[in-house]
Amino acid sequence: MKSIEEEFEEAIKEIITKHQKYQNADNISYEDLKKKNDKIEKLIEKGECYIGFVYVTENSGMKFYIDGKPKNIANFIMTHAYSLGVVITDMGDNFILSAGPGGYLDRISDPALRGELLDYLIPMQERKKKPEEPIAMSIIEVMKFEELYYEREGNKEEID
């Protein structure tokens, strides 16, 4: 069995690798980006898309569009459990929740959501279950998709 220190080291390496992946969308195919984008667009249309902010350092972080279902939110939080923290808002920038290192809920606007999230979070926090890959698309992936989309469509206009 691994020690806590070994697990922590592995987790840090994993989070660094993930954030490097999110920072460099050049390695993701247009088709994969299109699949992600289509999922996010459907969530937006249904009003089920949230925004997740992951703080990697005190001065930097990453913005994601995420599926707002409790199971996905829990997976998103625990995928980034070794960051400095996660804040989730709705598309109108209304606060939903914040979580600190380890994926522990800090503040949450809806007590009912808290109960649903804990059903998913606690087994992951106790290491009885691994987080699944959340339905999420980083802002860098969105920008890369737009760039590739406009290139494929032959539209060379600047992207705002």
What pLDDT band is residue 18 in, cutting at 50, 70 and 90?
low
Query: In the Cβ-directed half-sphere of 13, how many Cα atoms lie within 13 Å?
Result: 6
Residue 154: DSSP 8-state = T
Indicate the SS3 state at residue 56. Answer: coil
Q: What is the pLDDT of residues 79-127, one digit of tens each?
A: 998 888 999 999 999 999 999 998 999 999 999 999 999 999 999 999 8
- Tracing tokens 């808002």 back to the chain, one arrives at 89
How far is residue 39 CA from its own chain's centroid? 14
- In the prediction, which pLDDT does 58 show? 74
- Would you state the pLDDT for residue 157? 55
